[in-house]
Amino acid sequence: MKNKFFSLLAIMLAFAIMPSSAQDLARYKDVVKTLSSKKYQGRGYARGGANKAGRYLYRQLQKAGMDELTTQPFKIDINTFPGRAAMSVDGKSLIAGREFSPREYSPGTKGEFPLYFVDTLNYDSKRIFADLEKPENKNAMVVCDFWFTYKHGKDFRQLQTAGGAPNAGLLLTWETPLKFFKAYGERVVDKPIIWVGPECVEGKKRVKIDLENKMLKGYECFNVIGKIAGERHDSCFVFIAHYDHVGSLGRHVFYPGANDNASGTATLVTLAEYYAKHKPKYDMYFIAFSGEDANLRGSNFFTEHPIMPLEKIKYLINIDMIGDNNPVLYCETSDAGLSEFATFEKINNKKKYFKGINRGALAANSDHYPFAKKGVPCIFFENEKGDAFKNYHSPQDSWENAISVTYEPLFRLVRDFIEDKSRR
């Protein structure tokens, strides 16, 4: 009996000292699944999904046990596509979000139009404008490879401007499945511009489009900000992740954003829960930003209206799109945060959380950037170019396709870094 008692005691003690990462993973998955569900409609603006997600995250941080919790409202102008979204070529319907997708700044349109294909091998801009004056090309949709239009931007800008040419709009060919690359339509151009798969229009003659847009002026969003008081208040650590996404296209298609960025937001929640249970040495802030996919609007607003002096930030960690399986982690640092990159590498080399950490050049690609420009020491983590990357900004970035292998090693890397820096 004594041996059985000690065996049972040993098992109980083993469970008592085991890290809580298994429970954290379950919690992480629950948040990702919730945020990428149909209820939140891609966490965009047309159907209020972003604000619904913000209220959900407020409740999750409240349950986590924040010492302080608030929201920070701000307003944006944003172009959306909430209604009709249909397109057919020579009578064949195309799949919204996969075979066609409007540019973020496109107006709506309704009608049937002839197709005019740009001859890229014998390109002559004057001939294009002359051809569009011909009766057979009246009110045509001009079809061209996107990268070619990018190269000849001055000519093609005329084709999207009222009075520039008598065409109805532009169809930009891009490989399928298409991605809604940007969401920050802060303006609307004169003519519709629509991504379309090249195979969908090749050899075709006419296109029928029924697309509705709605420009939302002064649309109110909000950041969610939680704080855990540390033993010291002279400095603080800040964890950030954006919760908005590109939203929906029409009445039936939405972009779940499981990887981008339900994954980072879920990590933010579990970090908040961890530090609520393990009192930190320094104050901790947990900020869930809205407006990231609207051109970093939430983080820009925060850095102009900070709730704490930015110079008090000991280090800021931005977690974005970590729902992938590349064994090499990607990061960017601010100039002020570069010196600590060696600490992350040292920890990773010792613990073998990832095969390596690849540091890229600082870019305006996520919410760390406005802080970096203000001189805040910070780092941005992303797990890119794994199996989930192909689903970026598409309806396939869903819970069903979610990948979670990066979560636990990243959580531990961040935790170990905070412990190391808190000792200094």
The two structure tokens encoding residue 255: 């972009």
**Model confidence at 1, in pLDDT bands (50, 70, 90)?**
very low
Task: Output the pLDDT for position 21.
Answer: 46
34-69: string of b/e by CB count within 10 Å (b at 16+)?
A: bbbeeebbbbbbbbebbbebbebbbebbeebebeeb
Q: What is the mean pLDDT of residues 164-173?
A: 95
Distance of CA 56 to the CA centre of its chain: 18
- How would you list the strands of the sheet with 92-93, edge to edge? 92-93, 85-89, 206-211, 109-117, 141-145, 169-173, 193-196, 100-102
How far separated are the first and last CA of the chain, in Å rounded? 49
The SS3 assignment for 406 reads coil
Task: Output the pLDDT for position 185.
Answer: 82
Q: How far is CA 226 from CA 267, 284, 340, in A?
A: 14, 8, 25
- Total-model pTM: 0.92
230-248: pLDDT as tens digits: 999 999 999 999 999 999 9
Q: Which tops the pLDDT comparison, 237 or 182? A: 237
Q: Is 234 exposed, middle or buried (0-12, 13-18, 19+ CB in 10 A)?
A: exposed
Rounded to 10 deg, the angle between the 21-35 and 49-64 helix axes is 160
Choose the weakest-confidence range: 1-5, 71-75, 242-246, 374-378: 1-5
**pLDDT of 15 higher than 90:** no
Q: What is the mean pLDDT of residues 125-137?
A: 95
**Model confidence at 6, in pLDDT bands (50, 70, 90)?**
very low
Q: What is the mean pLDDT of residues 275-281?
A: 96
CA dihedral sign of residues 105, 202, 126, 141: negative
340-395: pLDDT as tens digits: 999 999 999 999 999 999 999 999 999 999 999 999 999 999 999 999 999 999 99
**pLDDT of 54 higher than 90:** yes
Given the structure tokens 């029409």, which residue do they identify?
250
Distance between CA atoms of residues 264 and 283, nearest Å: 21
186-237: pLDDT as tens digits: 899 999 999 999 999 999 999 999 999 999 999 999 999 999 999 999 999 9
**Model confidence at 2, in pLDDT bands (50, 70, 90)?**
very low
The two structure tokens encoding residue 120: 């890229």
**pLDDT of 79 higher than 50:** yes
Task: Output the pLDDT for position 277.
Answer: 96
181 phi and psi, to 5 degrees?
-65, -35
Distance between CA atoms of residues 93 and 208, nearest Å: 9
Q: Is 75 exposed, middle or buried (0-12, 13-18, 19+ CB in 10 A)?
A: middle
Instruction: Tell me the sheet residues that pair with 379.
Output: 317, 333
92-122: pLDDT as tens digits: 999 999 999 999 999 999 999 999 999 999 9
**Model confidence at 44, in pLDDT bands (50, 70, 90)?**
very high
Distance between CA atoms of residues 120 and 321, nearest Å: 36
Rg of the chain (C-alpha set): 25
The two structure tokens encoding residue 414: 């961040």
**pLDDT of 13 higher than 70:** no
Distance between CA atoms of residues 27 and 10, nearest Å: 27
Task: Output the pLDDT for position 180.
Answer: 82
- Residue 13: its H or E element: helix 2-17
**pLDDT of 68 higher than 70:** yes
Task: Output the pLDDT for position 85.
Answer: 97
Choose the weakest-confidence range: 52-61, 108-117, 155-164: 155-164
> With contact defined as beta carbons under 8 Å apart, do 141 and 172 qualify?
no
Given the structure tokens 């974005």, which residue do they identify?
320
